[in-house]
Amino acid sequence: MECYVCPHRCGVDRPATFAGPGTLGSCHMPMAPVVSRAGLHHWEEPCISGSRGSGTVFFTGCNLHCVFCQNYDISSLDQGREITVTRLRQIYQELIAQGAHNINLVTPTHFAEAILQSLAEPLSVPVVYNTSGFEAVDTLTRFKGKIQIYLPDLKYYDDRAAIKYSNAYEYFRTTTNAIKEMYRQVGDYELNDEGLMTHGVVIRHLVMPGMLEDSKKIIDWVARTFKPGQVMFSLMHQYVPYGKACDYPEINRKLTDEEYKEIEDYLLASSIEDGFVQEGEAADCKFIPTFDGTGV
C-alpha cells in the first residue's frame, strides 16, 4: 500500500511487515506496529501522569529524525518488536489493568493505520496522541472521536532549523495546521476532579540552546492563536545533547538555567495562562526510559 500517511508523503509501497515485499519510506518502518516498550510512565505533565502513571506505548521509528533525539535508540536505531494489531490492543488493556490513567501513544504518526484499527472499539480511558507535531491534517481527521488528548511538540519556528536538525520541510506551517486540527477535534481542555485531563491539547515546546528567538516566536504564535482556557502550553527544560548532537557544536550542550529563565519570563509576560514550566533537574538522562521490550 502506497504510504502518504505523514507530511513526507513518500508514496512508497510500504511492506506489511519487515519480512514482506515493499520499500521502506523515511520512517524506516513497515505497516505493522513496532513497539520498544510499554509501561506506566510518571514523567509526563501532571495532568497526564496523575498519581498512577500514564500507560505509555513507545513506538519504534519516527517520521522525524531529530539529531538530538532523547529516544534516539528507538527513533533512529530502530530497536523494537514487530507486533500485530490484536497484540497492540491487548497491551492497552494490560496497561489499563495496571491502573493507567490513559493510553499514551508515543511517536504514533507512522503507525496511524494500525492504531486506527486498534481503536476501532473505544477504550475505558482517554487516548493520548503524543507526537512530534509533524502530522498530515488528512490523516489526523481520521482520528476524530478516537483520540481525546493531543500532545504535540511545536519544535521550530525557523524552517531552516527544522531541515537541519529534523529533516522536516515546512515544519512550522505543517505543525501549526496540525495543531489547529487537533484543537478542532477535541475543543477546550478539561480537567477532572483529580486534575487529570479528560480531553484537550497540550502543546509542548522544548527550548534549545542558542535558539531563544525561535522560542519567543513560538510563544507569540500560541498566544495569538489561542485564548486562555483553550489549550495548555508546556515549556520544557529537558534538552540533553543526545543522539548525533555531537556533530552540531552549536546544540551540543545542555540549555543553561539563564536561557530557560529568559524564555520562562517571556512566557509569563505573554497572554498564555494555562500550562507548565519545568525545573532544570528535568534535563537528566535518568528520565529517559530503557527501551528493552518491557511490556511488549
User: Under the rule (CB under 6 A), what is the footprint of ligand SF4?
Assistant: 3-6, 8-10, 12, 14, 25-27, 63, 110
**What letter does residue 13 receive in the DSSP assignment?**
B
* Closest residue by Cα to residue 102 from 236, 201, 199, 230: 199
Radius of gyration of the chain from its Cα atoms, rounded to whole angstroms: 18
* Closest residue by Cα to residue 168 from 177, 178, 158: 158
The gap from C-alpha 109 to its chain's centroid, in whole angstroms, comes to 9
- Bridge pairing between strands 81-82 and 34-41: antiparallel
CB of 184 to ligand SF4, least distance (A): 22
* CB-nearer residue toward ligand SF4: 14 or 41: 14
* CB-nearer residue toward ligand SF4: 147 or 202: 147
| Nearest residue relative to ligand SF4 (C-beta) | 25
CB of 114 to ligand SF4, least distance (A): 11
Q: Which residues have CB under 8 Å from 49's CB, separation 6+?
A: 41, 42, 43, 101
* CB-nearer residue toward ligand SF4: 110 or 205: 110
* CB-nearer residue toward ligand SF4: 32 or 95: 32
* CB-nearer residue toward ligand SF4: 37 or 110: 110
The length of the chain, given as a count of residues: 296
CB of 248 to ligand SF4, least distance (A): 22
Please tell me whether residue 35 adopts helix, strand or coil conformation: strand
* CB-nearer residue toward ligand SF4: 56 or 63: 63
* CB-nearer residue toward ligand SF4: 28 or 199: 28
Ordered DSSP codes for 141-190: GGGTTT-SEEEEB---S-HHHHHHHH--TTHHHHHHHHHHHHHHHH-S-E
CB of 262 to ligand SF4, least distance (A): 35
The cell numbers describing 201, all together, are: 491539547
**What letter does residue 122 receive in the DSSP assignment?**
P
CB of 115 to ligand SF4, least distance (A): 12
**What letter does residue 110 receive in the DSSP assignment?**
G
The cell numbers describing 120, all together, are: 476501532
CB of 295 to ligand SF4, least distance (A): 24
CB of 12 to ligand SF4, least distance (A): 6
